[in-house]
Amino acid sequence: MRLPMQELFEKYQGNLYAAAFNVCKNAEDAEDVVQDTFIQYYSLKKEFESEQHIRAWLLRVTINKAKNMNRTFWRRNKQSLEDYMETLSFETPESGELFEAAMNLPEKYRIVIHLFYYEDYSIHEIAGILKLSESNVKVRLSRGRSLLKEKLQEEWENDE
């Protein structure tokens, strides 16, 4: 017995997501696990005895994939920004505040700021690394600087 993917997805997506989230404790990883489970079902040309058998198989695969996700190198070595900040040393407290503010920027600005200021790449090199135009890199740098300036001015005004 095989059921159509759409029907299975509509029936069991919520249950599988809940099971995966229960193991992973992370929404994005749980979504990935559910997606991988449905891909595996689709790729597998196995015939099942009944719908209950399919459901049990889906849940078992989801839970196993979620457990495997927790064992990955990245999950075991993941740490929060605050914990990472404690391991770093800065010449002045202001440089630490600047680095923390830069790390809290949206990703597209954070990466460009990091590559330009902390890794000393040129705009041309950053454009090559990120596969962007040089003008796009300049715009992201400019917007990232503006966001940093706003954020740091707020912090410094609050300190006074």
- What's phi and psi for 3, nearest 5 deg? -105, 150
In angstroms, rounded to a whole number, what is the distance separating the alpha carbons of residues 97 and 103? 10
- Both 52 and 9 in one domain: the answer is yes
What domain range is 112 assigned to? 81-159
Count of domains forming the chain: 2
Residue with tokens 């990120």: 130
In angstroms, rounded to a whole number, what is the distance separating the alpha carbons of residues 94 and 92? 5
Contact between 134 and 127 under an 8 Å Cβ cutoff? The reply is: yes
- Both 100 and 150 in one domain: the answer is yes
Cβ neighbourhood burial of 112 (10 Å; 0-12, 13-18, 19+): buried
- Both 91 and 115 in one domain: the answer is yes
- CATH number for the domain spanning 124: value is 1.10.10.10
pLDDT exceeding 70 applies to what percent of the chain? 88
Amino acid sitting at position 31 = E
Domain stops at, among 25, 55, 76: 76
In angstroms, rounded to a whole number, what is the distance separating the alpha carbons of residues 100 and 84? 10
- Both 105 and 37 in one domain: the answer is no
- Both 69 and 18 in one domain: the answer is yes
- Both 61 and 94 in one domain: the answer is no
- Both 13 and 68 in one domain: the answer is yes
The residues, any chain, with a CB within 8 Å of residue 6's CB and separated by 6 or more, are none
- Both 63 and 102 in one domain: the answer is no
Q: What is the pLDDT of residues 55-86, one digit of tens each?
A: 999 999 999 999 998 888 776 666 666 666 66
Residue 136's pLDDT band (cuts 50, 70, 90): very high
Q: Is the pLDDT of residue 158 over 80?
A: no
- Both 56 and 90 in one domain: the answer is no
Q: How far is CA 50 from the centre of its chain?
A: 37
Q: What is the pLDDT of residues 29-49, one digit of tens each?
A: 999 999 999 999 999 888 899
| The model scores a pTM over 0.85 | no
